[in-house]
Amino acid sequence: MSAPEFEGGCLCGSVRYRVVGEPLWAAFCHCASCRRATGAPVSAYAGFRTDQLTWMRGRPKFAATSEGVRRGFCADCGSHLTYEGARWPGEIHVHLGTLDQPERIEPTGHAFASERPPWLKLGDLD
């Protein structure tokens, strides 16, 4: 049986990627940094080994958004694509919303749930 493949990219199509293999994990992140970076009340990520990801078209621009953290985004449309943190060496975290078929990976946990806005109601937390 072959390894699963996932493709995705930014809103304008300037940056496209492929990841091959099962994700290491998938979760929602509620931290204030992710909220500010994405403009969304919660982010959903899947973690992969860095060597599982290939940039197929274009390359993201990277911003160091806090110590030991860099976020990848499309320089043309601004779509947030990836997160990399020194706390997780060798991993790249892909925003599930940028996958062509995000329904194929279901988040199974929550990070920084105590930081979520109180008006955000999620069935498994409330």
Question: Backbone phi, then psi, for 108, in 5-degree steps?
Answer: -120, 5
Whether residue 126 is predicted with pLDDT greater than 70 in this model: the reply is no
Whether residue 122 is predicted with pLDDT greater than 90 in this model: the reply is no
Give the pLDDT confidence score for residue 125 in this predicted structure.
62
Distance between CA atoms of residues 52 and 60, nearest Å:
16
Q: Cα separations (Å) of 8 from 81, 86, 104, 114? A: 9, 24, 12, 30
* pLDDT tens digits for range 2-47: 899 999 999 999 999 999 999 999 999 999 999 999 999 999 999 9
Whether residue 52 is predicted with pLDDT greater than 90 in this model: the reply is yes
**Is 5-115 CATH 2.170.150.70?**
yes
Give the pLDDT confidence score for residue 123 in this predicted structure.
75
Distance between CA atoms of residues 34 and 40, nearest Å:
8
Question: Which one, of 6, 9, 38, lies nearest residue 23 by Cα?
Answer: 6
Mean pLDDT of 42-70: 96
What six digits make up the tokens of 76?
A: 């043309």
